[in-house]
Amino acid sequence: MDSVETSQSGQKTRTKTLEAENVALLKHLLEMELRRLKEEAELDMIFFVGVDGRIFASYIPEVLDARQMGLLYLWKAQLPHMCAQLRNENMKVSIQQFKHGSVIISGVGDNAFLVSLISREVEVTNLLECMKRLLMGSLVIRHIFELKPMSESNMSSYPKEVVEELAKLSRLLFKERFVHTKEYIRNMEILEFIKKKLSAIVGLGSVDEICTVTFNELGTAPKYMTPQLWMVFIERIIKEHVKRAAGEVVADECLRSWIPEIEKKLKSFV
């Protein structure tokens, strides 16, 4: 989907995003946010846990050192008690410091919570800064976990940074998943066809430059092309670049022969 954003200068830009509409994409979106939390808050480990003790998702290093292992065992031993607190006492936030490191708990609605483990020594003031990012992440994960659409009505009550994080995730999901779609494969095949035809007329060295300039003029990129944009693209290529390089007769012949072939390729992917 497209979202329109307005910059400080008042210009509107169209941003490509993808909403998670099935279980696999929702799980991927949730894991993306956990990964971002782990990196941005500089955590050793992070777990998304249900109040019944089930671990829905986690990020753990492949190899654990002694401090990390000790902290992990300590947290797992406390898990039943944590679940009881969240279930019975509705605990929202907890920061605990031990010999092996720190354990931060932040609630994600009434039925789940995040557990973040930091094995190094951290000052309380730094933990509070880390906590800000985790609380924001908890709201983001709750939105995803509750299967809410990313619409203005569903996000109107959120702080600005939560709305921005959800938008970032949606854009990242689009970028990561778009390469697997039929549209992407179609567009790459059509671009390769055009480049091959064009190189025979203008020379291989000029093809990439011509295509890049034309995409920029259209304000898009190859992977985002629609059938309508391809028609505009190919006509502009032929009328402006082929005609200049080989003359009007050759340009007219290219219009007659290339466009039907591109239309055929577009229809084959419908």
Whether residue 10 is predicted with pLDDT greater than 70 in this model: the reply is no
Q: What is the mean pLDDT of the chain?
A: 84
Mean pLDDT to the nearest integer, 50-58: 90
Identify the pLDDT of residue 23: 64
Identify the pLDDT of residue 12: 42
Q: pLDDT (tens digit, 9 = 90+) per residue, 18-53?
A: 454 456 677 788 888 999 999 999 999 999 999 999
Identify the pLDDT of residue 179: 61
Which amino acid would we find at residue 29?
L
Identify the pLDDT of residue 5: 43
Which amino acid would we find at residue 233?
F
Q: pLDDT (tens digit, 9 = 90+) per residue, 195-237?
A: 999 999 988 888 999 999 999 888 888 888 889 999 999 999 9
Instruction: Tell me which residue has tokens 């986690």.
Output: 58
Closest CA to 113 of 91, 146, 88: 91
Q: CB burial class (10 A; 0-12, 13-18, 19+) of residue 36?
A: middle
d(CA 28, CA 18): 12
State the alpha helices, DSSP H only, in the chain.
23-40, 66-88, 124-145, 152-155, 160-178, 182-202, 204-218, 227-236, 243-246, 248-268
d(CA 148, CA 68): 35
DSSP 182-201: HHHHHHHHHHHHHHHHHHHH
Which of the four pLDDT bands, split at 50, 70 and 90, describes residue 117?
A: very high
Domains located in the chain, CATH noted: 2-178 (3.30.450.30), 182-268 (no CATH)
DSSP 149-178: ---HHHHTTS-HHHHHHHHHHHHHHHHHHH
Identify the pLDDT of residue 86: 81
pTM: 0.60
Pairwise pLDDT comparison (108 vs 86), residue with the higher score: 108
Identify the pLDDT of residue 48: 94
Instruction: Tell me which residue has tokens 């949606």.
Output: 170
Which of the four pLDDT bands, split at 50, 70 and 90, describes residue 191?
A: very high
Q: pLDDT (tens digit, 9 = 90+) per residue, 63-105?
A: 889 999 999 999 999 899 888 888 777 778 888 888 889 999 9
Specify which residues 162 forms β-bridges with.
none
Identify the pLDDT of residue 185: 86
What is the SS3 assignment for 148?
Answer: coil
Q: pLDDT (tens digit, 9 = 90+) per residue, 123-137?
A: 877 888 898 999 999
Which of the four pLDDT bands, split at 50, 70 and 90, describes residue 139?
A: very high
Which of the four pLDDT bands, split at 50, 70 and 90, describes residue 181?
A: confident
Cα Rg of the chain (Å, integer): 26
Instruction: Tell me which residue has tokens 């939390």.
Output: 37
> Is residue 115 a contact partner of residue 47, using CB atoms and an 8 Å limit?
yes
Specify which residues 13 forms β-bridges with.
5
Phi first, then psi: give them for residue 107, nearest 5 degrees.
-70, 145
Whether residue 238 is predicted with pLDDT greater than 50 in this model: the reply is yes
Which amino acid would we find at residue 176?
E
Helix axes 160-178, 23-40, angle to 10 degrees: 120
